Amino acid sequence: IVTGENYRFGYKAAGDVAALKEFGAKNDAKVDVVELVPAARPDATLGDQVSSTRIRAALMRGDVKSANDMLGREHRLVCDVSGAAAQNSLRVALAGDGEDVLLSLENVENVPPMDGQYRVRIIVDPESGDTSLKNAKDTTVSLSYGRVAVNKYDVFDIQFARNAVAIDFIDRSSKSYANGVSGRW
């Protein structure tokens, strides 16, 4: 178990790191306590440390640059495209005249940023745990109405994805929503 030194848990946050260490010792679980990482910009509401709450708040504002700074890397959204609905969407994109492949945000592994247009890096079917960017494509995507639109001509192999599409968010390029992502403007 890895936790920050200010971790609280349980009813009314009665549990602390000392209680977690005691639990770990009794149950043969190793507990590692890490030092808190100071935030570049302290926040009156969210405190002086980097935290998952601060990162989620930045993503909810569409501020991927701040989220990336706190993470120490680009925020990665992994879209599971192995299911029947996702595969149908990819087949429609391959056969259709439209430019965009629409991926549902229902099957993502983590928190997407706020709706808008973003500069991103996309990796189609990354190997498990692979952080290399050798097959990555830089492009722009649009998030709106629970979907992400990826131009199939910018990332041609997205139409042939079988397992996952990883999207690394670099920066928000526009607050505007994409025409066509939801079928309405």
Interval 80-134: pLDDT, tens: 999 888 888 888 877 878 888 889 898 898 899 999 999 999 999 887 665 566 6
Considering the chain, what percentage of its residues have pLDDT values greater than 90? 45
Instruction: Find out whether 62 and 141 touch, Cβ atoms under 8 Å.
Output: no
Average pLDDT score over residue span 125-144: 78
The first and second tokens of residue 27, run together, are 């149950």
Q: Is 12 helix (H, G, I), strand (E, B) or coil?
A: helix
Instruction: Find out whether 16 and 31 touch, Cβ atoms under 8 Å.
Output: no
As separate numbers, helices (DSSP H) first and strands (DSSP E) second, the chain gives 4, 10
Residues 175 and 117: their CA atoms lie apart, in Å, by 6
Q: How far is CA 60 from the centre of its chain?
A: 11
> Where residue 157 falls among pLDDT bands split at 50, 70, 90?
confident
Pairing of strands 164-174, 116-124: antiparallel
Q: Could you give the C-alpha distances from 121 to 17, 29, 39, 107, in angstroms and in order?
A: 38, 38, 25, 19
The first and second tokens of residue 58, run together, are 């930045």
Backbone dihedral angles phi then psi of residue 165, each to the nearest 5 degrees = -125, 120
Mean pLDDT, the chain, integer = 86
> Where residue 180 falls among pLDDT bands split at 50, 70, 90?
very low
The pLDDT of residue 133 is 65
The pLDDT of residue 11 is 94
The pLDDT of residue 65 is 93
> Where residue 182 falls among pLDDT bands split at 50, 70, 90?
very low
Average pLDDT score over residue span 33-61: 84
Instruction: Find out whether 59 and 114 touch, Cβ atoms under 8 Å.
Output: yes
Q: Which residue matches tokens 């990819």?
A: 90
Residue 177, pLDDT above cutoff 60: no
The pLDDT of residue 120 is 96
Model pTM score: 0.77
> Where residue 141 falls among pLDDT bands split at 50, 70, 90?
very high
Residue 25, pLDDT above cutoff 70: yes
CB atoms within 10 A of CB 47: 15
Mean pLDDT lowest among 14-18, 41-45, 59-63:
41-45
